Chains A and B, each alone.
Chain A
Amino acid sequence: MPTNSSATQHLLLFRGPDWDRGLAPDAAQRLLDDVMAWFDGLNQRGLVKAGQPLAREGVVLSGKTERRFDGPFAESKEVVGGYLLLAVDDFDEAVAIARECPTLAHGIEIEVRPVLEECPCFARVMKQRELATA
């Protein structure tokens, strides 16, 4: 239900456990080749602004705590394993590109999000200010 039509870029967040689990090495290699071909195709069309895998281990920071993770988090369905920033202004086109990702059949999920110029909080502040001065 995205309503922001002014986005000029979309971010794909790849989530899920390692997709090669349960695959023989040659099957995994073929799939990896398919992924690279998919990525290279997008890149050649000039649609890729940035994109990289993310290391499984990392640090989670909140105001009060610092938590390091590795191992167990790698199993998580939620963990972001990589991202792809698309120079695509049409949300439906970004979703269509995500649907072509070859590893979807192997348990990953892709979150497609419009990239904003401005934080939505800022828009809310401005609106409140307008209401207050009206």
Chain B
Amino acid sequence: MFLIVGYEWDKDLSADETRQALDKMMAWFDGMLKKGIATGGSPLARHGKVVGGKNGSMVADGPFAEAKEVVGGYISIRAESLEAATALAQQCPLLEYGVTLDVREMVNECAISVRLKEQAALATA
């Protein structure tokens, strides 16, 4: 999965430059969709809520981060390895406008579950 980090990357661009950047971004994404590499993806609204605390007692307007650290969208892709995914991510047209991509492997089981199973296996060994 690519987490596309950075909001307002267009703020110093003219309307034409922004339009060109968006066209390149859409062409890149559509190309990956057509090849079956991308399995989904969307932009996200700038504002939402952040929920925390016991029983979700804390609900605040968020995210709190500065615009450049806010997740602006995501793309889920199929790739054989983190290296292959990284090579794809390097082609993202928005990188040159200061956007950052977090390339992360989607796993079937969370690390905590794996750890608990290992502990259980050790305990019964």
Contacts and interface: CB of A to CB of B under 8 A. Distances in A.
Interface of A: 1-4, 7, 9-11, 13, 18-20, 25, 28-29, 32, 50, 52-63, 66, 78, 80-83, 85, 91, 95, 98-101, 104-105, 108-122, 124-125, 128-129, 132
A60 B89 CA distance: 10
Contact of B47 (A1, A18, A55, A82): A1
Contact of A115 (B44, B49, B95, B99): B44
Interface residues of B, number: 65
Is the contact region of chain B dominated by helix, strand, or loop, or is it mixed? mixed
B110 A53 contact: yes
Contacts of A57: 82, 105
Interface string B78-121: 00001001100110100111111111111111111101100110
B12 interface: no
Nearest to A85: B40
A71 to B, nearest CB: 13
B50 interface: yes
Interface in B46-88: 46-56, 59, 61-63, 65, 71, 73-74, 76, 82, 85-86
A114 to B, nearest CB: 4
Contacts of A7: 45
